[in-house]
Every structure is written in C-alpha cells, then in structure tokens.
Amino acid sequence: MENTSPEPVDPSPPVAVAEVNPVQLPEWLRSSQTEHQPTGWDRIRFFSARHNWALLLGFGLVLTLLMVIGGVVLVGRVADGVSASPSASPTPSPTPPLSRVGEPRDLFAGSPAATFKPGEEAVRVPAARGTGPFTAAQVRTALESVRKALIESRLDISMFMGDPEPFLALLAPDAREQLRPDFSNNSFLRYATRMASPSEWEPGARADGRISYRATEEKGIRLLEVSTEFVWAYPFDVDSRAPAGAQVVALRDRVVWQVPHPDDVPAAARGLYIASAEVVTWNADCAQLRDGWVREQYWLADLHGKRLPAGDPGAIFDLDAPAPTSTRC
C-alpha cells in the first residue's frame, strides 16, 4: 500500500461603447438669413439709450440689494442641507458577516473541527505511482475520480438538496445502476450527504481525511483499490446560547473504492465502483437520519426550558483513534 501524502466560461461582456450625438449647429447659424435678431443685452442697451442714467442707477441699486438678500438666504439653506446630509456624518464601519439568525459568529468555534481545512482543500490525494499492473497515469486518473466523487457526494450543493445524478455520473455505468436504488430507499448515508433543513445548514463544511491505494485482484480481475477515511463537519445555524460544538454535525466514513483494469472488464464495467462503505455520525437528528437526511439534533428541552448539550463527540473527530462502532440512533 502506498503511504498517504498531500498533493464554457461565459465570454466577457462586450465593452460598452458610448453613443456620440453629432454636433447640432444653432438654427440661425445654419440659416442663410443675414438679419440678426436682437438679444437680451441688445434690448438693455436700447433701453439705456432712451432713458435717464439716474433712473438706471437707482434700478441697479435695488437689483443689487435683492441679489445680496437672495444670496444670503441661499447660503443658509445650503449650510443647513450639508449639516443634515448623511454624507456629512462619519461613514459607519462595515459590519461583519451575520449568521442566518443575525449574529456574527464562527459556527465551528469550540468544535474539534475548528482546525479542519475548508471543504475541497481537505480532499487531497497522494502522489500517483505505478503499482502492480497499473501505470502512474492510470493511478492518477483513478485518484482524481475518487477525489471528485468525494466532493460530489459529501460537499456539493446538488447532493445536499437531493440530486444524486452529478455524483452517479462519475461512476462506471454498471455502478450507477447498482447505487441508484440507494437514493430511493435512503441507504446512501454511508457515502453521501443530504441536508434536511436548507434554512438552517450553512455553506462552508470542513473536513479532515486520508487516502491510500494498492493493487489487488478479485476473481481474476485486477483492481486498483483506493481507501478513504474522512470526518465531514457541517455547520448549522442554531441559537447562540447553544453549547460549544452544538452547531456542528460530524460524519466519519470509511469507503473502499475500486477501479478494475480496463483490459479485464467490458466497457460498461470500466470506471469507479464503491466496494464497501460505513459511517458513524455525531450530533445528527436520529429521526431525520432514518429518512436519509442530515440535521443537527440540538433542541429546546421541555423540562425547565434547559437546553440539552450535543454530547461528548468522543473519538469521532480523531482519525488516529478508532472510529466509534455505532451512533446513538
């Protein structure tokens, strides 16, 4: 066995082009007529030529006084508007992201999963090397198939919402038909996750795991066997008074995947299979699990209004310790 070791986009929108209107010449400039129509300033000059300059001086003083008074009123209104404008007040600092119940908090805080890597970052395959009859390229392809299957089955929104087809498409044609009934009789939890309460579970699952592989043979068929063991931690948005860790549901699974050598099987049997799978859970609602759905089991007790803790997770988060043999469901 090898030791485990870490490892059509839409076109850009077209550039916006400004519409430029052609320059419109004034009507009088485009006209062949040469007669100039008097403007407002022309009329003032005509008036001053026919009237006494003293009268004009008095009229000018009155006009100036009115303009000064109007300017003072206008400046006062502008000042009042600036003082009342929201832009004049200090810009509030941005608030941190809120959970669905309106509280900024880390739903993994206080949980052993707080140190786990985010989702896909935790699913790392070992280096691919030729083993048995399988070349390094064949091993690499098999490992990548397993990685994609783990992501689709345990981390993808399609599976969370109850659509197994993206996951099944990654398997050998024969394997798809073998596993599809699992999603009708709710026996898929061993290798896939569906969420019971979309209004409560939060994106951002975390995980910790390891992957190894070896060449083996069964009934004359050469196989590349890939073993995976992971702890999947899912955050749920529950009351902020919940004890530490009560917001997290953990699934610890152990899955053996097999890829037959392409020379040993017909086309419909080539690809990825699940040979065996098992899972234990922590802090998951038992009634929902029986129906194939994952939801946190934290609730408000009727007796004295006390909130029940999620319970001791034991060794479920520790891959170096034996997994619990069963859940409390």
Q: How many CB atoms lie within 10 A of CB 110?
A: 15
Question: Tens digit of pLDDT for each residue in 39-84?
Answer: 444 444 434 444 444 444 455 555 566 665 555 444 454 344 433 3
Are the beta carbons of 293 and 266 closer than 8 angstroms? no
Q: What is the DSSP string of 242-294?
A: SPTTTTEEEEEEEEEEEEE-TTTS-GGG-S-EEEEEEEEEESB-HHHHHTT-B
pLDDT at position 18 is: 31
Higher pLDDT pick, 317 / 298 = 317
pLDDT at position 304 is: 46
**277 bridge partner residues:** 255
pLDDT at position 37 is: 42
Give the integer Cα–Cα distance in Å for 172 and 179. 11
Q: Which residues of 265-290 are buried (b: 16+ CB within 10 A; e: fewer)?
A: beeeebbbbbeebebbbbbbbeebbe
State how beta strands 117-118 and 248-260 pair: unpaired
Question: Tens digit of pLDDT for each residue in 244-294?
Answer: 778 899 999 999 999 999 999 999 999 999 999 999 999 898 888 888 899
Q: What is the DSSP string of 39-63?
A: -HHHHHHHHHHHS-HHHHHHHHHHH
Question: Tens digit of pLDDT for each residue in 138-168?
Answer: 999 999 999 999 999 999 999 999 999 999 9
Question: Tens digit of pLDDT for each residue in 75-134?
Answer: 454 344 433 333 333 333 333 344 554 555 688 988 899 999 999 999 999 999 999 999
C-alpha dist (Å) from residue 58 to 35, 44, 48, 62:
34, 15, 13, 6
When pLDDT is averaged across residues 2-29 and rounded to a whole number, the result is 36
Give residue limits of the domains in the chain. 112-305
When pLDDT is averaged across residues 311-318 and rounded to a whole number, the result is 84
